[in-house]
Amino acid sequence: MVCEGFPYREALRLVGLALREDVGPGDWTTLWTVPPDLRAEGTISAEEEGVICGLRVAEMVFRKVDPGLSFSPRFRDGERVRPGDVVAVVEGPARGMLTAERTALNFLGRLSGIATLTARYVEALRGTKARVLDTRKTTPGWRALEKYAVRCGGGENHRMGLYDMVLIKDNHIALAGGIAEAVRRVRESMGSRKLKVEVEVRTLKELEEALASGVDRVLLDNMSPGDVKEAVGLVQGKVEVEASGGITLENIRKYAEAGVDYISVGAITHSARSLNISMDLRPSG
């Protein structure tokens, strides 16, 4: 899997924040123990199987700390790695390498963890038409990077924020006075904006109301696979169908086999465990 759309600007901003947080006024341990002219070679390795992601961010970290550091990736984002695989090699001033190490590994581990978990969900759907979507349940400030990691794992992005799609959820419906009224207000207010309109439904009755309102997609929230199958039959291909809520690796295929187009899984971002990635340094000539 070769992923596209690396969010350079957002990554650069996060790298700056992360280094200010970690380095503060100075990396005293490194400054007081490592000679300024010492050069080193650092080997970044995978300690477990997974999908690597975040190599460009890691390079940005090292280069931000010391432009004299060279970063040579051995894989591309979206490729699978096995335990012991050398992911990248860093060469140059030892001080800068040590100062950047933890921040670079944090980015690599976090993003690779998301890509790896996403890939597991995508694999579970193999042979069906359903596609895995992420949600807005992301780390504040990290959304662009985490959604990039989802793409590297083979998943697809739902809306990036509140601005690029209309998703009418239960609280909107309650405050607007019903599905039909909520959709009517959206269509009336949208003007020239060409945004897709999706409505969350929890029952077949709500689904019928949403279909009658002329939406583009329905989100079947916390329904059982049996109810989802019945709902898909009711839709009859008129609109896109998304299932969400209570989706796990153990049951996702049942939802896919019910005939939905999309399955959104918040866990791929909010519950992904970081991939174990390490770095070993040694003095070089």
Q: Catalytic pick from 76, 102, 131, 187?
A: 102
Q: Catalytic pick from 134, 209, 221, 261?
A: 221
Number of C-beta neighbours around residue 275 at 10 A: 26
| 8 Å CB contact between 91 and 42 | yes
102 noted as active-site residue: yes
Q: Catalytic pick from 39, 63, 131, 137?
A: 137
27 noted as active-site residue: no
64 noted as active-site residue: no
Q: Catalytic pick from 13, 169, 196, 205?
A: 169
217 noted as active-site residue: no
200 noted as active-site residue: yes
Q: Catalytic pick from 85, 146, 200, 206?
A: 200
Query: Which residues have a catalytic role annotated?
Result: 102, 137, 169, 200, 221
